[in-house]
Structure 1
Amino acid sequence: MTQHPHTSGRFAGQVALVTGGGSGIGAAVARQLAAEGCAQVHVADVAERNAADVAAGVGGVAHAVDVADAASVDAVVGSVVGTAGRLDVVVHTAGVDDPAAKARILAAQESGHPVDVLCELDDEAWRRVMSINLDGTFHVLRAAVRAMRPQGSGAIVTVGSSAAFDTLVGYPHYAASKAGVHALSQSVAKEAIAHGIRVNTVAPGPVDTPMASRTPAAVRQAMEATGAIGYASAEQLADNICYLASTGAGNVVGAVLLSNGGRFTV
């Protein structure tokens, strides 16, 4: 592994793990952590080639991980701690959407008929979204807290969604999974802070990522029109996340930071 050359910055000398780091928000976070001094940036993704490409660009280490598989998550965290001896920052961005549900939303939009997703949503599609978005967050939080507790410090940032508050018609499984991420993260935050570990969440609105590129154009246009600011960039979300992971947010625990371009407030 190549050490990143930066020796100053908010994350100077720290060891970080980014799940879902092979693209989108996760890749932007990995790049920013490295640019701000992280000694080691570990990039984990189910798409190992993507993780390798991002890791190569930041002088980091790539890992293959399926966050829905607890053993896979434990193995990655164990590898990081075994190599570096510590783990200071964990950013969990891995997640999925449901292109089939988006296609049904588009069909309803084009036909003028009411959206009908729930009655067509099978158990497999429900479990896929839940197992990656919610179960995966549980696996990462548990492994990260286990690793950080002996050192008495650490920062964890999970990625929820503004869709948990302003639910999109026809997206019940995604909204439920992200609402679960918020509640889970906040509960863990109250427990983990006793060990010096801060847990916070960012709740994006629409973000211009590879996942968003799969959204049908008409649906994307409708989503974009709901706020004064259009789709956020992955780099803007990385700014939010790195703030929550930094000492500048030292008194921020259990927050859900809206980053949705003013679509709504809570």
Structure 2
Amino acid sequence: METELRGKGVLVTGGAGGIGSATVRAFAEEGARVAVHYRSNEDKARALATEVGGAAVRADLTSEAEVDALIPEAVKALGRLDVVVANAGHWPSQDEPVWKMSLTRWRQTLAENLDSVFLTCRAFLRHVETTKVGSLVLVSSTAGLFGEAGHSDYAAAKGALASGFVKSLKNELGRIAPMARVNVVCPGWTEVDRNRGKLQDPAFLARVTRTMALRKVGRPEDIARVIVTLASDRISGHVTGEVVTVAGGMEGRVLHDT
């Protein structure tokens, strides 16, 4: 199906990561010009940008000044900016229950997963206020829907994106651009670098897919295609404020005994 994304300008934050790089390539396949955002992985971001004929742009998304400069830089690099995919985030690897979690970790996780998205959206919407068009896709997580023991900080940040934030933002958009849209994608277990080793263990794979109707984990391309679909005004032009879960039918309960 024609997406009508050809020639559009797209910024993907965290574009050098697993889901991010798949998303960059998916937009490029549709003929969009893509800016690959990175914070520290410059070599990979620049290589990917060269591969797709886009641009690499750097910012620390927890820095207000750097995010405010990121959007004009992306506009300059691409010639226009129509879509922003707020994909960047950080999952802290250490399992820590609430009663052991430091305030420092809590604040850092929220800064990296919630503050960063707020700043990205704010900067982009100041641009949308002048162009009167735009589409936002926020990448949350099933942790934000079902919780994640040992990672309440991450679940809280991702849950905020998939509830109050997106529901408020879709109504606020009408004040500056009546046709602009915002939606959320919640990936479940996905075969990215940080999970790949664990997912090679059949016992681990069986355990994590017990709550999923489809007994397999997703690939980054599975998430990327849904993001592109939501970003397309032709395909999803009457969809806003929605949360789409891409997790094989995951539920908050066990569906399989083994």
TM range (shorter): 0.7 to 0.9
How many Å separate the matches in 2 of 1:226 and 1:16?
A: 34
Tell me whether 206-215 or 231-240 shows the greater mean CA deviation.
206-215
Which of 148, 153, 172 pairs up with 1:191? 172
Equivalent position SS for 2:94: helix
TM-score by length of 2: 0.87
Equivalent position SS for 1:17: strand
- The CA deviation string for residues 108-131 of structure 1, in whole angstroms up to 9 with x for no partner, is xxxxxxxxx222211221112100
Aligned length: 243
Shift of the alpha carbon at 1:171? 1.8
Letter in 1 for 2:186: A
How many Å separate the matches in 2 of 1:63 and 1:220?
A: 36
Task: Give the gaps of 5 or more residues in structure 1.
Answer: 1-7, 105-116
How many Å separate the matches in 1 of 2:99 and 2:44?
A: 35
The 3 A distance-change label for structure 1 pair 123 and 259 is same
Which of 60, 68, 91 pairs up with 2:85? 91
TM-score by length of 1: 0.85
How many Å separate the matches in 1 of 2:152 and 2:165?
A: 18
How many Å separate the matches in 2 of 1:134 and 1:162?
A: 15
Contact 1:190 1:253 in 2 (8 A): no
Which of 190, 202, 208 pairs up with 1:207? 190
Task: Give the gaps of 5 or more residues in structure 2.
Answer: 253-258
The 3 A distance-change label for structure 1 pair 219 and 127 is farther
CA RMSD of aligned residues (A): 2.0
- The CA deviation string for residues 92-148 of structure 1, in whole angstroms up to 9 with x for no partner, is 1101111111xx6xxxxxxxxxxxx22221122111210010001101110111112
Which of 232, 245, 263 pairs up with 2:218? 232
Identity value in percent: 33
Equivalent position SS for 1:199: strand
Contact 2:57 2:73 in 1 (8 A): no
The 3 A distance-change label for structure 1 pair 52 and 220 is farther
Shift of the alpha carbon at 1:193? 3.4
Equivalent position SS for 1:12: coil
Tell me whether 85-94 or 12-21 shows the greater mean CA deviation.
85-94
Alignment of 1:1-266 (within 5 A): 10-38=4-32, 40-46=33-39, 47-101=41-95, 117-182=97-162, 183-194=164-175, 195=177, 196-213=179-196, 222-229=207-214, 230-247=216-233, 248-264=235-251
Contact 1:149 1:197 in 2 (8 A): no
